[in-house]
Structure 1
Amino acid sequence: MKVLTERDSFLSNYEVLQHLQNIKKKYNWSFNPNDEKFMKNKKNKHHFTGCGINLEIITRDVLSCLENNESSLIQSTKSFKQLMEFLNQFELMKVEKLQIVNSLPRSLVVLYALVEECEDRFGEETSESIIEKINELFPIQEEEEEEAGEGEEDAEINE
């Protein structure tokens, strides 16, 4: 097997997700009943492309994996660009930026695991600013719902 073109850049999970969603849209594939509701013309649905059913199966499987991943919290290209511009301020390697974008760390422990010698290179304040920026751009709604649920449980216990 011969490599025709060497990899010259990395793709984040978000970029792969966007690309696969465009392929899905291009071929009018529906992978669940909700997709079919939004399709305007079901007769135009293409099951088999020039690549065969394998492309559809791989697209479906990878999309389902990526949609249940941290990178699915990235809802717009604007917020993705803002995060990348923020990370470019620091002397991070491309791989470290990629890992941060893909996992969106919410704690210093996770960030330290992703960035080599993070504590020595950046210090705690800089590391916390990265975490704060991620929380600002990509807030987690589940935590708010869990906290509200805990508050209701506490009220029930007190009664």
Structure 2
Amino acid sequence: MEVLDRQEALVSNYEVLMVLQEEDQRHKKIKPKSHVKYPENVSTLKFEALQYLNGTACSTQSAAQIAALKSGLAGYDLTKAEVLQIINLRPKKPVELFLIIEECEERFGDAEIEEIMRVILTALPRDDDDDDDEEGGEEEGDEAQGEGEMDVDQDHS
């Protein structure tokens, strides 16, 4: 078999998530009206992909953030695949960038690496570290408050 019209494109996890969510919404709208049924393996694949992608960084991204990142990185000699990996992985530290960019040390100096990191952190802010700290603080505060309430209740007994 020969492919006559080959379309080749790289898509980010964010774009895949948006397509799957749109398809899921479309399917939910037509499902009650129609007896059209997806094969079970397609439904399972869609469900598992949505579940996975909703647990990754792409679930908090927006098209505007990705566009800002791409324009911010336009001045650097990065391949499309490297930009895609930056979008998908959202590196927080320069060492993570070294794993994404091929021959990073030879291609970029320390100042350029820091500038690329600044662009990434500005365009794609990460809130996953902040959530962990906030949750921990809230839990400790809730426990302390709960203990204080127990002491008050015991005094009234």
- Say if 2:55 is the partner of 1:68: yes
Compared with structure 1, are the counterparts of its residues 92 and 45 closer, same or farther at alpha carbon in structure 2 (3 Å cutoff)?
farther
Give the aligned partner of residue 131 of structure 1. Answer: 117
Give the one of 105, 111, 115 matched to 2:91: 105
Once residues 3 and 78 of structure 1 are traced to their aligned partners in structure 2, the CA distance between those partners, rounded to angstroms, is 34
Q: Report the alpha carbon displacement of residue 90 of structure 1 after superposing the two structures with TM.
A: 1.0
Give the aligned partner of residue 15 of structure 1. Answer: 15
Task: For structure 2, list consecutive stretches of 5 or more residues without a partner in the other structure.
Answer: 145-157
- Say if 2:109 is the partner of 1:118: no
**Local SS of the residue matching 1:89:** coil
> Based on CA coordinates, which of the two structures has the bigger radius of gyration?
2
Give the aligned partner of residue 52 of structure 1. Answer: 39
Give the aligned partner of residue 39 of structure 1. Answer: none
Query: Do the aligned residues in 1 keep the contact of 2:66 with 2:124 (CA within 8 Å)?
Result: no
Once residues 7 and 112 of structure 1 are traced to their aligned partners in structure 2, the CA distance between those partners, rounded to angstroms, is 30
Q: Report the alpha carbon displacement of residue 145 of structure 1 after superposing the two structures with TM.
A: 4.1
Q: How does 1:33-52 map to 2 (within 5 A)?
A: 44=32, 48-49=36-37, 51-52=38-39
TM-score, length basis structure 2: 0.73
Query: Do the aligned residues in 1 keep the contact of 2:69 with 2:124 (CA within 8 Å)?
Result: no
Larger RCO (CA under 8 A, 6+ residues apart)? 2
Q: Where does structure 1 differ by over 6 angstroms across 4 or more consecutive aligned residues?
A: none
Task: For structure 1, list consecutive stretches of 5 or more residues without a partner in the other structure.
Answer: 30-42
Q: Report the alpha carbon displacement of residue 70 of structure 1 after superposing the two structures with TM.
A: 2.5
**Local SS of the residue matching 1:44:** coil
> Percent identity over the alignment?
33
Q: Report the alpha carbon displacement of residue 45 of structure 1 after superposing the two structures with TM.
A: 7.7
TM-score, length basis structure 1: 0.73
Query: Do the aligned residues in 2 keep the contact of 1:83 with 1:137 (CA within 8 Å)?
Result: yes
Deviations 1:93-130 (A, max 9, x none): 11111111110111111100100111221212221222
Give the aligned partner of residue 75 of structure 2. Answer: 89
Q: Is 126-135 or 99-108 further displaced after alignment?
A: 126-135
Q: Report the alpha carbon displacement of residue 44 of structure 1 after superposing the two structures with TM.
A: 2.7
